[in-house]
Amino acid sequence: MSDHQQVIAFQGERGAYSEAAAVIHFGDAIQPLPCVTFEAVFESVESGSANQGIIPVENSLAGSIHRNYDLLLRHDLTIVGEVQTRIAHTLIAMPGVTMDDISRVYSHPQALAQCERSLTTLLPDAERVPAYDTAGSVKMLREGNVQDGAAIASRRAADIYEMTILRDHMEDDAENYTRFLVLGSEADISTEQAKTSIVFSTRNIPGALFKCLAVFALRDIDLTKIESRPLQGKRWEYLFYIDFAGSTRETRCHSALNHLQELTTFFRVLGSYPRGV
């Protein structure tokens, strides 16, 4: 840890789940830089106004955040870390507000959906109001001094806005995890327990993807994720994003990637980084 506070960019208001993930990764002594959009997170790191950024890429229930896969391609940053964290939703209100006062519950639509059964039990008559984000809903309650509403957000959001937690573990499914990636401008290739993320496209010929996966299988390299996205300008052709266990510094991984480049029309390493736990 250095004497200077690292500025870490994330999407959402103070208290967002991304901020909580940043604290897990960097510790408490960060200077948070809330951004309105995911694009602004990338731009903050590129311009140097943040040292690093953190973005969600995948939720274990809802799947990939495809927008961030597209942005990884469009921007020239490097993945330098990974955080996997359990999403525990809390029901938050202004101090003094009780369950009986609540006629509306605000949050991001996905968070409302993930608490649907809990909300039906606790607050069957409360209206669900979709909002821009989770922590932003808490901020809105605080700024508006709202006495008949509650929000679904992180415990951290309740702390930051000095609000009351009416109920924790509102999430219906405890197996609710989100993977975040840490973005930097300089590669920091680790070798211990590393993971590598790449993106490539192939010629549109039978067996092309099979051959690409063979370069890993033939070297016993374990793929942990594959995601496809449309290749702009080529109808029904795709970019493939792959994560695998290993670092580009390892000979077998290095050889696999050289082999892969014989088969691809586009190829880029997005980063090698310590595996998040």
> Which span (33-41, 43-51, 142-150, 223-231) binds a copy of itself, by CB under 8 A?
223-231
In the complex, the smallest distance separating the C-beta of residue 173 from a copy of itself, rounded to whole angstroms, is 8
> Catalytic residue among 26, 42, 180, 216, which?
180
- Please name the residue ranges forming H helices in the chain: 17-26, 38-47, 66-74, 109-114, 116-122, 134-144, 155-160, 208-217, 251-261
Per rule CB under 8 A, count of chain residues that contact a copy of itself: 36
Binding string to a copy of itself for residues 52 to 81, with x set by CB under 8 A, is what?
Answer: ------xxxxxxx-x---------------
23 vs 15: CA distance, rounded Å: 11
Give the DSSP letter string of 137-153.
HHHHHHHHT-SSEEEEE
Give the DSSP letter string of 82-137.
EEEEE---EEEE-TT--GGG--EEEE-HHHHHHTHHHHHHH-TTPEEEE-S-HHHH
- Pick from 198, 191, 230, 231: which is nearest to 215 by CA? 198
Known catalytic membership, residue 191 = no
In the complex, the smallest distance separating the C-beta of residue 196 from a copy of itself, rounded to whole angstroms, is 15
Q: Figure out which of the listed residues 29, 36, 99, 217 binds a copy of itself, where binding follows CB under 8 A.
A: 217
Known catalytic membership, residue 178 = yes
Q: Figure out which of the listed residues 209, 250, 259, 269 binds a copy of itself, where binding follows CB under 8 A.
A: 209
Please list the active-site residues: 178, 180
Q: Which residues bind a copy of itself (CB under 8 A)?
A: 58-64, 66, 175, 177, 179, 206-207, 209-211, 213-214, 216-217, 220-230, 232-233, 235-236, 238
